[in-house]
Structures are given as structure tokens and as C-alpha cells.
Amino acid sequence: MFWKKYFKPYKWQGILGFFFKLVEAFFELMVPVVVAKIIDQGIAKGNTTYIIHMGIVMFVLALAGYGSAIICQYYASLTSQGMGTLMRRDMFEAINNYDYEDLDTLGTPTLITRITNDVNQLQLAIAMTIRLLSRSPFIIIGSLVMAFILNWQVGLVFLVISPLIAFAIYFVMSHTQPIYHRINKLMDKISLITRENLSGVRVIRAFNKQDNEKKRFFETTKAQKDEQVHAGYLSSLMNPATTIIVNTGIILILYVSAIKVNLGTLTQGEVIALINYMNAIMLSMYAFANVILIYVKATAASQRVQEVLNLKPSMVEGSQDMPDSYNHFITFDDVSFSYKEGHALEHLSFTINEGETVGIIGGTGSGKSTLVNLIPRFYDATEGRILIKDQSIKDYQYDTLRHMIGIVPQSATLFSGTIKENLLWGNSSASDEDLNLAINISQSKEFIDKLPDDLKTKIEAGGKNVSGGQRQRLTIARALVRKPEILILDDSASALDFATDAKLRRDIKKMHTTSIIVSQRVSAIMNSDKILVLDHGKLAAMGTHDELLKTCTLYQEIVKSQMEGENNEK
């Protein structure tokens, strides 16, 4: 059970919190009895010392209740926050162990809400369990018991009225909950329309669709308002209904009590106590209903949290180090790969030699990115084997494997921190010389020098304060800092102008590292030692630029489409 694991370290704190809340509730239940005694013993008999004594008892009860409450709150806070902290830690760790496929299935935005909002939701539920789940039922049951002790016939009134109050509350809540659910759905839609309208403002204005959009928005807000008003009307019933039920109860108590008092089996003070118990039951029922609402939310949250914790990556890490000697550098042996949606790569076989520059070209959706993502084992090939230095990548430890590889992903992502800190991601022990080299090769020097704090310039989250081209160059530098044995550029120079792109490739070539360049521009890969042409997940052809121009019609077509201008010039 998922709860047990997190409750265990806080077992005693939780139990103590629960216990002290019960103690407080017990003291609270005693008060109406003491008041009844004051009236029946003190007032009726004119016994002033008794009144004063009982008064002192009341103050002691109040003080003891207060003390218990403080102890309870302390343990409740400790338990709920502690359990939440442990959950967050485990979730973060679990997510760090996910493979790419898991990240794709769950999606990162939901992971973020789960680790923050959902855990908060659970913390609240834990605290409420300790604070209210003990108190409310105890007061309700305690009041019932007290009523029966005072007079069993009046106790029967309690037995009839209590479920009626519970039912009234349940009725209204169970009817409003689905409406609130719909209201939230509509709220999401309102957000969605607003977001679409803000991000697409140019298109909407260019197409003159403002009125359509307004109509769409107004319809949604109207639908939401109608639901809200409906829910509002329904929940307005709750208070009047419970008021009527409780007062019916009080009237019945008065009536039955009158007969009993007349017979001398019940006293005036006890009647007052009974009425107090009735009111206490109603208040506790309300509190209990709120706990249930929190529980409903928490169940959903707990499911989402468990999903995160229970998802175990399907990939298993290998245990081998890097082999000392080898014949082939990278080998793809009949590799196929499919995403959940369908085939992405089919039966690829090729080798890459050390120091080679390999270009990969092909249309959108031809599987270029997928191919390079298989090399650092971000995904496992569905069929076939990938070998690096003659050893299957499945046998490598992740660290060993990934440290060999410097990858520059398609989306240029930087992290908040200085430029230097970002570059050190590549290799935390890189020297200033290493950094400078990487900066030079990635053509970043020119713009970094212009920055006021050069390497110490702060990058905002997501790298929003540098331009797209600069971001790409920095991500390239980050990969280079690692002095990787294999450098992978996944269409990562797309924001660079042709001149910079050319210089970048020239300088990378000088490093004599094995590089794999994915691009849609022929100019970016035509000088490679080997070019792989991909077509819908299949290897259409492989060879040098000149060879492919002669043999591969697909490659010819691609080249022709891009070189047209050049041909016209001649």
C-alpha cells in the first residue's frame, strides 16, 4: 500500500496527533454536562460553592482542551509535511529514472503539477484526517451516547435526526459535485480559448475572426454561468434544510423532555445539555462533509501521485564499462524501432568509423531524429542491435555510454544560471581553456564577448534572454565542452545563417571527432564522409555526396530542390 510506506516514518507522530485530537473532543463533550450540573445542582439548590467549583472545572476543561489541540496541531503539521516531503523526493527520483518513452507517455506538464499541486492536496488531506476525521465522528457518536445516557427516549430522537442531517448534506453535495466538475471543465475551455486567442492574435486579426472568437468565448462563459447559477441554487438549499431538520429535532427534544421533566426523570439543565448536543452534531456533520470533499480531491491526487511512483522504466541499465579494444566504432545491426503510434525505423544496418563525419538527410518524419536518439540509448531499439566499440549499448552503464556522447538536441534548451554554469553541464571539471575552445568552435565567442558579464552573464529559465541563434550556439558549445567521442547535431544549426553554419562545420571538422549531423540542408551534410538518406524510416541509400548524386534518385531530388537557384545562376 502506497500510504503505508510514507506513514511509517511518521507513525507515532500521526497516532499521537490523532489521539490528542480525541482528547480535546472528549473535553469538549464534557462541557454541556458540567453546565447541566451547574443548573440542576447549583442553581436549583442555591449552592454557590458548587457553582464556583464547577466553573473552575469548566476553565480546566478549556485549558486542557487547548493544550491537547496544540499538541495535535504540532504532530499533524509534522506528519503531513513530512509525508509530503518524502513523496516529493521519491517522485522526483522516480521521474529522474524514467526513460524517454515514459516521459513521452506521461508528458512533462502533468508531471510538474503532480509533484507540486497534487502533493499539496495530499498534505492537506493528511492534516485534515488527523484534525477532523478523529474529531467529527467522535463528537457525533459521543453526543449520541451522551443523549442516550441522559434519557434514552430523547436519544431515539437523536438517532432519527442525525441520519437526516447527514442525508440532507449528502443529497446537496452529491448533486452539486457533478455540476462543479462541469464548471471546471468549462473553466479549462475558457482558459484554452484565451490562450489560443493570445498566441494566435496575429492570425485572428489577419483573418478578421475577432467576432467569431468573441462569440465562441461568450457562449462558453454563458454555459459556465448557467451551471454556476444552477449549482448556487442547489447549494443554497443546504443551510435551510439542515436548519429545519435540526430545529425539528430540538422541538421533539423539547416535547419529549417536557413529559420527562413533568415526571421528574429529567432536569431542566439536562434539557439544555441535550439541545447543545444536537447543535454540536450539526456542526460536526458540516465539518465532516468538508473532510469528505477534501478526500474526493485527494483520491484523484493520490492516484496521480501513485502513477508517477509506480511507473518503472522498461529499460534496464547495463553494468559494463567501456571495452579496451575494438574493431568497429558504431554498428547498427538490422535495427528497427517503433513508437506506440507506429513504425519509425525499419531494418537499418550500417557502420560508422572513428573520426568520420556522417550526415543524415531525409524528409520530415523520415526518422532522422529517432535514429540519433537510439545511439545514447534514449530509446531501445525494438529489434536488432546497436554496438559501440563492439559492445551492445544495452550492456553499458548509462553514465559510461552517455559520457562518450555530446548531443545537441533539436530544441535549444538552456537552464537558469550563468553561461559558464550552463557550459559546465557538459563536463563539470572542464578548465577555462576547454570552455574557450568550445566557445570558439561553436562560433559563440563573438556574441559572448559583447555581453557585459561575458561568461558570467545570467541566462533566464529557458534561455529567454538570448536569441534563438545564440541559444543554439551555446547548446553546441555545451556538448563540445565534454570533448565527446561522438558528437551528434540533431538539426541544431537551423537558426544559424549560412555563413556561421559553414564556419561551425569547418571548425568541428578540425576536431577530428566522430560527428553525426542531422539536417535538412544539403549544404550542411554534403561534405560528410558518409551520408545516410532516410525515407519513411528506411535507409534509402548511403554514400558520399558524389556517389549519391549518381545513384540515388531521392537524393538527387532533394539536392535539385535546394540548388535550383544556383543552377539558374549558371
Partner 1 sequence: MKNKNTLARLMRFISPYKSYLIFALIFSAVNIVFTLMTPVLIGRAIDTMIGKGKVHFSYLSIRIVQIIITVILAAITNYLVGRFSSKMTFEITKDLRDQLFAKYHALPLKYIDSHPHGDLMSRMIADIDLISDGLLQGFTNLFAGVATIIGTIGFMLAINVKIALIVIVLTPISLIVSSQIATRVYKYFQEQLAIRGELSGYVEEMIGNQKVVKAFSHEEVNKADFDEINQRLFVSGVKSQFLGALVNPSTRFVNAIVYGAVTIFGAFTVLNGGITVGALSSFLTYASQYTKPFNDISNVFTELETALACADRVFKIIDEEEIVEPRNAKTIEHPQGDIKIDSVQFSYVPEKPLIDDFNLDVKAGQTIAIVGPTGCGKTTLINLLMRFYDPLKGTITIDGVNIQHMNRHYMRSLYGMVLQDTWLFKGTIKDNIAYGSSNPTDDQIIQAAKNAHAHKFIMQLKDGYNALLQEEGSNLSQGQRQLLCIARIMLADPPMLILDEATSSIDTRTERQIQSAFDEMMKGRTTFIVAHRLSTIEKADKIIVMNDGHILEQGTHKELLAKQGFYHKLYYSQFDTSTNS
> Segment contacting partner 1 (CB under 8 A): 50-58, 317-325, 346-354, 448-456?
50-58
**Nearer to partner 1 by C-beta: 43 or 156?**
43
What would the grid cell of residue 401 be? 555510454
Least distance between partner 1 and beta carbon 405 (Å): 8
257 binds partner 1 per the rule CB under 8 A:
yes
Q: Which residues, numbered 521-540, are part of the site for partner 1 (CB under 8 A)?
A: 522-523, 526-527
Least distance between partner 1 and beta carbon 334 (Å): 26
Please state the φ and ψ torsions of residue 362, each to the nearest 5 degrees: 165, 170
**Nearer to partner 1 by C-beta: 236 or 431?**
236
What would the grid cell of residue 450 be? 559583447
Which three-class secondary structure string do you get for 402-432? HHHEEEECCCCCCCCEEHHHHHHCCCCCCCH
**Nearer to partner 1 by C-beta: 327 or 428?**
428
Please state the φ and ψ torsions of residue 388, each to the nearest 5 degrees: -120, 130
483 binds partner 1 per the rule CB under 8 A:
no
Q: Match 447559477 to its residue by C-alpha cell.
A: 229
Q: Which of 22, 26, 73, 170 binds partner 1 (CB under 8 A)?
A: 73
316 binds partner 1 per the rule CB under 8 A:
no
Q: How far apart are CA 308 and CA 295, in angstroms?
A: 20
Is residue 310 helix, strand or coil? Answer: helix
541 binds partner 1 per the rule CB under 8 A:
no
545 binds partner 1 per the rule CB under 8 A:
yes
Q: Which residues, numbered 9-28, are part of the site for partner 1 (CB under 8 A)?
A: 24
306 binds partner 1 per the rule CB under 8 A:
no
76 binds partner 1 per the rule CB under 8 A:
yes
**Nearer to partner 1 by C-beta: 334 or 460?**
460
Q: Which residues, numbered 186-245, are part of the site for partner 1 (CB under 8 A)?
A: 187, 190-192, 194-210, 213-214, 217-218, 221-222, 224-225, 228-229, 231-233, 235-237, 239-241, 243-244
386 touches 380 (CB < 8 A): no
Q: How far apart are CA 138 and CA 281, in angstroms?
A: 10
What would the grid cell of residue 92 be? 522526483
Q: How many residues bind partner 1 (CB under 8 A)?
A: 165
287 binds partner 1 per the rule CB under 8 A:
no
**Nearer to partner 1 by C-beta: 82 or 155?**
82
* DSSP-derived secondary structure letter, 42: I
Least distance between partner 1 and beta carbon 556 (Å): 11
Reference 491, options 399, 363, 403; nearest CA is 363
Q: Which residues, numbered 327-366, are part of the site for partner 1 (CB under 8 A)?
A: 362-366
Q: How far apart are CA 307 and CA 310, in angstroms?
A: 5
Q: How far apart are CA 97 and CA 74, in angstroms?
A: 35
> Segment contacting partner 1 (CB under 8 A): 115-123, 147-155, 287-295, 433-441?
115-123
Least distance between partner 1 and beta carbon 270 (Å): 11
Least distance between partner 1 and beta carbon 236 (Å): 3
**Nearer to partner 1 by C-beta: 333 or 356?**
356
Is residue 331 helix, strand or coil? Answer: strand
Q: How far apart are CA 399 and CA 182, in angstroms?
A: 48
Q: Which residues, numbered 504-523, are part of the site for partner 1 (CB under 8 A)?
A: 520, 522-523
Q: How far apart are CA 570 and CA 568, in angstroms?
A: 5
**Nearer to partner 1 by C-beta: 35 or 164?**
35
165 binds partner 1 per the rule CB under 8 A:
no
Q: Which residues, numbered 375-404, are part of the site for partner 1 (CB under 8 A)?
A: 376, 378, 398-399, 402-403
Q: Which residues, numbered 399-458, are part of the site for partner 1 (CB under 8 A)?
A: 399, 402-403, 405, 407, 409, 413, 415-416, 425-426, 428
Query: Measured between alpha carbons, how far is residue 169 from residues 237, 238, 242 in Å?
Result: 9, 6, 8
Least distance between partner 1 and beta carbon 444 (Å): 15
**Nearer to partner 1 by C-beta: 155 or 362?**
362
Reference 101, options 382, 309, 346, 336; nearest CA is 382
Can you give the length of the chain in residues? Answer: 570
**Nearer to partner 1 by C-beta: 270 or 346?**
270
**Nearer to partner 1 by C-beta: 372 or 542?**
372
List for the chain the helix, strand, coil content (%; round to 5). Answer: 70, 10, 20
Q: Which of 9, 63, 449, 453 binds partner 1 (CB under 8 A)?
A: 63
What are the DSSP calls for 62-109, one per residue?
A: HHHHHHHHHHHHHHHHHHHHHHHHHHHHHHHHHHHH--HHHHHHH-HH
Q: How far apart are CA 494 and CA 521, in angstroms?
A: 9
Q: Which residues, numbered 123-142, are part of the site for partner 1 (CB under 8 A)?
A: 123, 127, 131
Query: Measured between alpha carbons, how far is residue 389 from residues 323, 354, 408 in Å?
Result: 7, 10, 22
Task: Return the beta strands (E) in 234-377 as ranges.
Answer: 330-339, 342-352, 357-362
Query: For the chain, how big is the Rg over CA atoms in Å?
Result: 36
499 binds partner 1 per the rule CB under 8 A:
yes
337 touches 347 (CB < 8 A): no
Q: Match 462558453 to its residue by C-alpha cell.
A: 220
**Nearer to partner 1 by C-beta: 263 or 327?**
263
Q: How far apart are CA 268 and CA 251, in angstroms?
A: 15
1 binds partner 1 per the rule CB under 8 A:
no
Q: 457-476 mask for partner 1 (x: CB under 8 A)?
A: ----xx----xxx-------
Least distance between partner 1 and beta carbon 243 (Å): 5
